[in-house]
Structure 1
Amino acid sequence: MDITIHETFLPHTDRDASLAFYRDTLGFEVRKEVEYGDMHWITIGPPGQPGTSIVLQPPTADPDYSEDERRAITDMMAKGTFAAVNLATRDLDGTFEKVQAGGADVVQEPTRQPWGIRDCAFRDPAGNLVRIQQL
């Protein structure tokens, strides 16, 4: 079997703040923007890796969500418990400094984890947990 990760989805609540974090701070390229009414879907990804993307989507755009589900999603996002993504870099300390200087909410400074990796963590503008580990 030949399976790769093509796209994953993260919620976002503010187009401009999301672009500032993922494009300007992390250096991802914007691959596509789709607007429907007041909602925005933004496809981003690391340069040089066209087959791997993150789609930043409106968290409650699915018409099948009930009002209770929409409220639960919004509440979980506010707490930072709804979604997460793990990224990797060869320069963890330099990346940490750049992301911190960009104003991201620091959850954990670079640390060696008991399971062997060294990583750090931030929250993106929508509250999603972004962990970055050293390659």
Structure 2
Amino acid sequence: MTVLRIVPNLHSVDPASARAFYGDLLGLDIVMDQGWIVTFASDAPTVPQISIASEGGSGTAAPDLSIEVDNIDQVYQRAQSMQLDIVYELTNEPWGVRRFYVRDPFGKIVNILSHR
């Protein structure tokens, strides 16, 4: 038996409102839209992972999602220009990631990161 993918399902009364955050900010494509559910994806190859955390590191709260990107500085600048709620500023962490936390339209804290 092999896990092929892991899909977080975030509740929203208005799934379409995710387009600006997950589409415009992160560049994810809509691969399914049934009205009651909108699924965003990337064609980049991934490895299924799930993390269980007591905190987010560096004294932060554990985020709801972590999304790795190839250009963290570009995404951070885009988040700023979109006037999104950045709850943890862009930081080089001692364990080798550069990251920031931003609140999505549903109040979820998203850890956007790149490995250095």
Normalising by structure 2, report the TM-score. Answer: 0.72
Q: How many residues align?
A: 101
SS at match of 2:37: strand
List 4+ stretches of structure 1 deviating above 4 A: none
Q: Which residue does 2:5 correspond to in 1?
A: 5
Paired amino acid for 1:42 = V
More helix by share: 1
**RMSD value, Cα:** 2.5
Provide closer, same or farther for how the CA distance between residues 108 and 51 of structure 1 changes in structure 2, counting only shifts above 3 A.
Answer: closer
Q: Which residue does 1:44 correspond to in 2?
A: 40
Higher gyration radius (CA): 1
User: What's the CA shift for 1:43?
Assistant: 0.8
Paired amino acid for 1:104 = L
Provide closer, same or farther for how the CA distance between residues 7 and 112 of structure 1 changes in structure 2, counting only shifts above 3 A.
Answer: same
Does residue 117 (structure 1) correspond to residue 97 (structure 2)? The answer is yes
Q: Which residue does 1:19 correspond to in 2?
A: 19
Deviates more, 1:95-104 or 1:12-21: 12-21
Q: Is contact 2:25-2:75 (8 Å) kept?
A: no
Q: Which residue does 1:102 correspond to in 2?
A: 82
Give the fraction of aligned pairs with identical amino acids, expressed as a percent. 27
Q: Is contact 2:18-2:105 (8 Å) kept?
A: yes
Q: Is contact 2:71-2:114 (8 Å) kept?
A: yes
More strand by share: 1
User: What's the CA shift for 1:123?
Assistant: 0.5
Unaligned stretches of 5+ residues in structure 1: 53-80
Provide closer, same or farther for how the CA distance between residues 17 and 99 of structure 1 changes in structure 2, counting only shifts above 3 A.
Answer: same
Q: Is contact 1:120-1:132 (8 Å) kept?
A: yes
User: What's the CA shift for 1:113?
Assistant: 2.3
Normalising by structure 1, report the TM-score. Answer: 0.63
Q: Which residue does 2:53 correspond to in 1?
A: none
